[in-house]
Structure 1
Amino acid sequence: MTIFRLKQLASTSFHAAAGVMQWNYDRAELIADGVVHIVGICFGLVAATALIVLTAVYATAADIAAVSIYVAGLLAMLVLSATYNLWPVSRAKWVLRRFDHSAIYLLIAATYTPFIMQLKDSYFAIAVLIGVWCLAIVGIALKIARPGRYDRLATGLYLAMGWSGMMLYDAVVERLPALTLGLTLAGGLLYTSGVIFHAWQRLRFQNAIWHGFVLLGAACHYTAILDLIVLT
């Protein structure tokens, strides 16, 4: 296995942490991960365009705004993940890592937006949405300013943000269609299950498998939003 090392050059201008980040993937693993990312971007662009067009035709102005936020978060995650993971090992890769991890916070908050906009008459639902966006902003700030310092905390925060919508369970069950609810829960379970492979660094093709779970989770949430906004 070819072992790459990305040096985190300590500097006040880049706030880089001291030490070494290992990039332990052989050629086959890198190719597999590249295929997953390319497939994700291609399908993401087509799906995002279709969702925007259908929302513009069949939904309200508020729905268009909420879906636009979601689409921006989805595409940012897909593009930044591909850029970071496929970029050659260099100092620039360490910088890209910050934006890749930050995009996860953005996607979680953006995914919540169209769902909670359907519950906009609930002050508690709006408070949850505001709280999720505030946590996303804090998380992004930490990733940009203190890269590599709080990675374990960040993983826990991703999961906590992702499942915080369970606080709205009663209202969601009452207001959302059964298919939308099922797809939303399936997406959350896929994301959560994928974290196992994200942490299982000794497993070959671990990174490609993790990103495959991310795409499946994103596909479930995309379909849930399509069903909620356009098809119901």
Structure 2
Amino acid sequence: MEKSQAAYSWWSRAHRPYTTAELIADGIVHVLGLIGAGVAGAVLLAFAIMEAAPELPALSIYVTSLIVVLGVSLAYNQWPVSPIKMWLARLDQAAIFLFIAGTYTPFLAVLGGTTTGALMTTFVWGASLVGVALKLIVPEHFGRLAIALYLAIGWSGILVFQSLAQTLPHSTMMLVLAGGVTYSLGIIFHLWEKLKFQNALWHVFVVAGASLHLWAVIDFMVIHRV
């Protein structure tokens, strides 16, 4: 019975269901994030198309992954407890890995043609796809390990920091670092499950981190090219 309850609680939060106020607050955070991502992403892609930017495929992957991760997260967190919510939980956690890889893609695209860029792209996408497989196949396991893997992939960019710093504007790099720190600080609220509005606060940090990285992409793709 204990084993069954543990397996059930990984996706349902049976130990402390969110209140209506918490769900509303969390929904507002997601909707605002989706609106911002949709508008800014559309502007970014429109600019890339008009300029025939070679990074357009990478940018398309990035914007798509951003909208997907926010959309799936919204659906999962707002859906009532049911078998559908369980599957949404799998997709939600898997989408995070795809989003991390998707976020790296436009930055690594500027290193295209280099061994460093190719190796880093292979590592980020390879590790992320392993994470996706784990979350889709055995989501009830590796809960804490997944968080460590999220952080490890997310901060693996340190390995190519110098190469990126020589290619990207200083302001872009500062925004990238700020986004990484914001995501990492948000983990505190993700783990602090007894805190009221914990989930909404966690997603505030997610949206803030995503916004900083989105602005970083706009910074080097648009602002420094006009």
Return the TM-score normalized by structure 2: 0.92
Distance 2:67 2:216 in 1: 17
Match of 2:156 in 1: 164
Match for residue 48 of structure 2 among 41, 55, 79: 55
C-alpha contact 2:105 2:121 (8 A) present in aligned 1: yes
- Please give the alpha-carbon distance, in whole angstroms, between the structure 2 residues aligned to 1:30 and 1:51: 31
Match of 1:45 among 38, 58, 83: 38
Q: Contact (CA 8 Å) 2:179, 2:210: kept in 1 or not?
A: yes
Contiguous gaps of at least 5 residues in structure 1: 1-7, 11-16
Map of 2:65 onto structure 1:
73
- Partners of 1:20 and 1:121 lie apart in 2 by 46
1:20 matched residue in structure 2: 9
Separation (CA, whole Å) in 2 of partners of 1:229 and 1:126: 20
Matched, 1:32 2:21: no
**TM-score normalised to the size of structure 1?**
0.90
| CA distance in structure 2 between the partners assigned to 1:156 and 1:81 by the alignment | 19
- Match of 1:178? 170
Q: Secondary structure at the match of 2:55?
A: helix
Matches within 5 A, 1:214-229: 214-229=206-221
- After superposition, where does 1:65-214 map in structure 2 within 5 Å? 65-214=57-206
Any unmatched runs of 5+ in structure 2? none
Q: CA deviation at 1:34?
A: 1.0
**1:81-123 deviations in Å (ceiling 9; x for gaps):** 0010011111211110000011110111011111011111320
- Whether the 8 Å CA contact 2:7–2:140 is kept in 1: the answer is no
Letter in 2 for 1:38: V
CA distance in 2, matches of 1:58, 1:9: 55
Distance 1:223 1:202 in 2: 33
Give the AA of the match of 2:149. L
Paired residue secondary structure (1:98): helix
Distance 2:76 2:173 in 1: 32
| Ranges of 4+ aligned residues in structure 1 off by more than 6 Å | none
CA distance in 2, matches of 1:176, 1:45: 24
Compared CA separation, residues 171 and 118, structure 1 to 2 (3 A): same
Name the counterpart of 1:3.
none
Aligned-partner Cα distance in 2 for 1:51–1:135: 27
Q: What is the aligned length? A: 218
Given that 2:186 and 2:202 are in contact with CA atoms closer than 8 Å, whether structure 1 keeps it comes out as: yes
Q: Which amino acid letter does the alignment assign opposite residue 42 of structure 2?
A: T
